[in-house]
């Protein structure tokens, strides 16, 4: 099953996408554990695109594509913003005291830890970030 949503460049869209995601989880009877993990990754990635990749009032053709199959539950967030691969960002040193850490980067670090597969590609003038979680499927 594949479903695609067009997303406006407003932070309020995160809620609408999360609601669509929840409906897909109910429809496909995905485990609650999988739903929580994927929801957290989805919120972090989409929020980053909306906060850092878009200019207010200027649509960047953001799309979220959900895919559920025998391998697991995945989603791709794509946009027509400037090329940016968040996976190249160095992981923060989470062992340093807070006052010694540079701000930012914890969200991408968290997404890297949550996903079973995570990849980035610049293709056709668009950023494509793919997140896949393999485990915890009840059935398709």
The per-residue DSSP string of 3-62 comes to EEEEE-SSTTHHHHHHHHHHHHHHHHT--HHHHHHHHHHHHHHHHHIIIII--TT----E
Residue 139 lies in a domain: no
Query: Residue 15's pLDDT band (boundaries 50, 70, 90)?
Result: very high
CATH code of the domain in which 87 resides: 3.30.565.10
Closest CA to 87 of 47, 57, 51, 117: 117
Q: What is the pLDDT of residues 71-108, one digit of tens each?
A: 889 999 999 999 999 999 888 777 778 777 776 678 89
Residue 31 lies in a domain: yes
The verdict on residue 138 lying in a domain is no
The answer to whether 2 and 114 have CB atoms below 8 angstroms apart is: no
Residue 90 located in a structural domain: yes
Query: Is position 82 within any domain?
Result: yes
Question: For residue 75, is it within any domain?
Answer: yes
Number of folded domains in the chain? Answer: 1
Q: Indicate the average pLDDT of the chain.
A: 88
Domain ranges, residue 105: 2-133
pLDDT for 99: 75
pLDDT of residue 84: 92
- pLDDT tops 50 at residue 139: no
């Amino acid at each position: 099953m594949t479903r695609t949503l067009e997303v406006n460049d407003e932070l309020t869209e995160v809620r609408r996408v999360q609601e669509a995601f929840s409906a897909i989880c109910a429809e496909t009877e995905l485990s609650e554990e999988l739903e929580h993990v994927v929801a957290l990754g989805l919120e972090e990635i989409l929020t980053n695109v909306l906060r850092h990749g878009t200019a207010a009032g200027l649509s960047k053709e953001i799309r979220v594509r959900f895919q559920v199959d025998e391998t697991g539950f995945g989603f791709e967030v794509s946009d027509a913003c400037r090329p940016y691969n968040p996976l190249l960002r160095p992981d923060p040193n989470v062992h340093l005291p807070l006052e010694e850490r540079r701000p930012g980067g914890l969200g991408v670090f968290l997404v890297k830890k949550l996903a079973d597969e995570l990849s980035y590609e610049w293709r056709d003038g668009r950023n494509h970030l793919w997140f896949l979680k393999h485990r915890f499927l009840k059935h398709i």
